[in-house]
Structure 1
Amino acid sequence: MTSAKALLLLLILVNQQLLTADAELISLTTGAIGAGAVGAFSAIFGTYSYIKCKFNECCDDNWIPGNVAHKLQQEVDEKLYGQHIAQETVIRAVRAHVSKLKPSKALVMSFHGWTGSGKNFVAKMIAKSVFKKEMLSKYVHLFVATLHFPHPEEVEKYKEQLRSWIHGNLTLCDRSLFIFDEMDKMPYQLSIFLFLSNGGMNAIVEKTLENYHSGQSREAITYKEMEQLIKNSAFNEGEGGLKTSRLISRHLIDYFVPFLPLERRHVIMCFKDYLRSRGFPTNADEIEELASQLHFFPKSSPIYSVSGCKQVEQKVDFLYSDYVHEHYKKHFIDDL
């Protein structure tokens, strides 16, 4: 193959759209390539890469900026309620991981807790702190067990497909985020893996209730006591447990992060945040009314929200649907 043809081939591999280019576009001849061709290619490729990455997401500092721990700290401090253990553990784990130029392994965290307690919320915060395009980044990969791995009898096929898929994406960018939601059944270095699960939630609730009834503050619960609690329960609950997973036997999970059930005061904070984000008034009586529409448990002393903060948006949008309708109708009439 001549050098000119080799150069054309390299450009085609970089961008499939260049398949329409003619050989005449490359003003290099077979007899006069040498070092000049290398320099020309470097200039062309450098210019192409700059333009491409200016408008399209690339695995570089422009699209994956630094200062991750600081941005995540701000997000968590401002928007995560009632999760002092998760807050401290996640921040410290991410800070320690991103501070290393060449970590020995990927950071792997397993989030456990009640529905609506903030597992997915924190995962989105991490994505927002790492990637400019947040959850829409092509380097953020979300897997939902019931959607992507629906058939238990095909687990071996899923494992092989997943292994190949992860390897391929890490080849494209080693700074990637993989989120596995409800991965109770499913079995590289700069990447971060997050496993989200309801596993262990009963044990977490029992411990939180025990602490409440003993008169201790919620913040008195420590990571150390909850970590072992999760290990003993989350991976031994029925058929969905991970007790046979090599994730456990090979100690591949770095942190087991508990998400405690949310109290009424935490849910009210979620309501206030969402109301502000929509530009709605934060009337105390209306917020109390919204919170009263949620269900709390246990029956003997209803302290914790059954749905956590998961139904906050739905409740607010329903309450203010008439307000929004009148607002848009007024603006529509004004524009006529």
Structure 2
Amino acid sequence: MRLAHYRFGAVEVRADVRLPGYDRYLALVPAQRVAGDGMPGAAPEKAAQAQDLQQSPAPYVITVRRGPAEVPAGQRLARIRVRRGDVEIRAVDGGGLALLTEGLAPYSLPAGGGEEISWHLRGAPSPAEADHLIGSAVPWALAARRDTEVLHSATLVSPAGAVLLTGRSGRGKSTLSMALHQRLGWPLLGDDAAVLHLTGNEPRVLSCSREVRLWHDSGQLLGLGEGTVLTRYATKSRHAVAGDAHKPVTVTAVISLDPPAGDPDRAVPKGNLSGTQTAHAPDLAERPELTRTRSVDGVLMLRAGLMRTALLDVDLAAEEFRFLTRWARGVTFARLRYPHSPAALDTAVGLLADFAAGR
């Protein structure tokens, strides 16, 4: 079967099954035509994707193939807690890894890297399984490569360079990054995973997404339409954003989003989301606060935010630390205490705009 080619920022995904809900990201290559694409009447956005792929080859290519319905048995190595359901990681024969999430088709990665994904489907993929593949499996596959570090962060491009917003799921990366994109005009290259890269000694970042995923209340607060509903959540949607997500960008700052003391992590700002935002600054207890950190703390911040599929041995940990130390040189690090309220969102946007301008 011919492979369908999809382009997600710096990543090209070649799949032997069509991904429901992702036709806008289909990319055609010479001498290949996926059924229904490249024909008269095809959507202009698909033609643009085809041009992108031919003129700017993807730095990363991942091939997705249907595997046997039963996931290979193996020893459980780890269980990673994420908001969308725990991910169980198992060792499989030959040194590969299997990743299982309850209610979704599992997938496995071969030993030595994540250039290919075996997708253990029992039928055609559901929209929820396609969302999981693109939003989770592809970044995890990139992270499984020995020479690739993937940071759990949103990526924006300020006039001074790329600004990464990192932090655990639920800290508000998606809402804040979309607000910065809307109000300051900063290109937004994805809200969840960023590939760290070095060009010489210059720290750069590549995106593996062209979307932002928001709870409906957050989308309403930002004046967005419904987007494409994520069926696994019902009240969450993905929204496409424009930007040269396939090009590496020099990084100027990394900012960790921290909740205020005693405030549980929440992805949706609190308050009257459908009404007008308050013009006055939030009270002291809810006022965002931006604090610069030392470079050594910045390296630790990066390590804490990396996506990993297994525990590292000593040699790999040392290699990772050397890379992060080099990458962090010249990057400014900070922590943003960020309460989730509409007024705090306004203040946080102003703080980050001033920070990026003044560094």
Q: Do both proteins adopt the same fold according to a TM-score greater than 0.5, normalized to the shorter chain?
A: no
TM-score normalised by length of structure 1: 0.25
Point out the structure with the larger strand share: 2
Kindly name which structure, 1 or 2, has the bigger radius of gyration based on alpha carbons.
Answer: 1
TM-score normalised by length of structure 2: 0.24
Point out the structure with the larger helix share: 1
Higher relative contact order (CA 8 A, sep 6+): 1
